[in-house]
Amino acid sequence: MTELMEPAMIVRRSLHDELIDRLREMIVTGDLEPGTKVPEQNLAAKFGVSRTPLREALKVLASEGLITLTPNKGATISQLTLEDLEEAFPVMGALEALSGELACERISDAAIGVIRQLHDQMIRHYQAKEMPEYFRCNQEIHNQILAAADNATLTSMYRSLSGRVRRARYVANISKKRWEQAVSEHEEIIAALVARNGAALSEVLKRHLVNKFETVKETIRSAGVGNLQEA
Interface contacts to DNA, rule CB under 7 A: 12, 14-16, 37-42, 49-53, 55, 69, 71-75
Q: How far is CA 222 from the centre of its chain?
A: 23
Residue 26 interface partner, choices a second copy, DNA, none, CB cut-off 5-8 Å depending on type: none
Residue 115 interface partner, choices a second copy, DNA, none, CB cut-off 5-8 Å depending on type: none
The beta strands (E) that lie in the chain are given as: 37-38, 67-70, 74-77, 80-81, 228-229
Residue 13 in 3-state DSSP? coil
**What are the residues binding a second copy (CB under 8 A)?**
12-14, 16-17, 20, 52, 55-57, 59-60, 62-64, 71, 84, 87-88, 90-91, 93-95, 97-98, 102, 151-154, 157, 161
Strand partners, 37: 76
Residue 40 interface partner, choices DNA, a second copy, none, CB cut-off 5-8 Å depending on type: DNA
Q: Report, in Å, the least distance between residue 200 CB and a second copy.
A: 17
Residues 48, 37 contacting (CB under 8 angstroms): no
> Among residues 157 and 225, whose Cβ is nearest to a second copy?
157
Nearest 5°: phi and psi at 228?
A: -100, 145
Which residues have C-beta within 8 Å of that of residue 90, sequence separation ≥ 6?
none
Q: Report, in Å, the least distance between residue 162 CB and a second copy.
A: 12
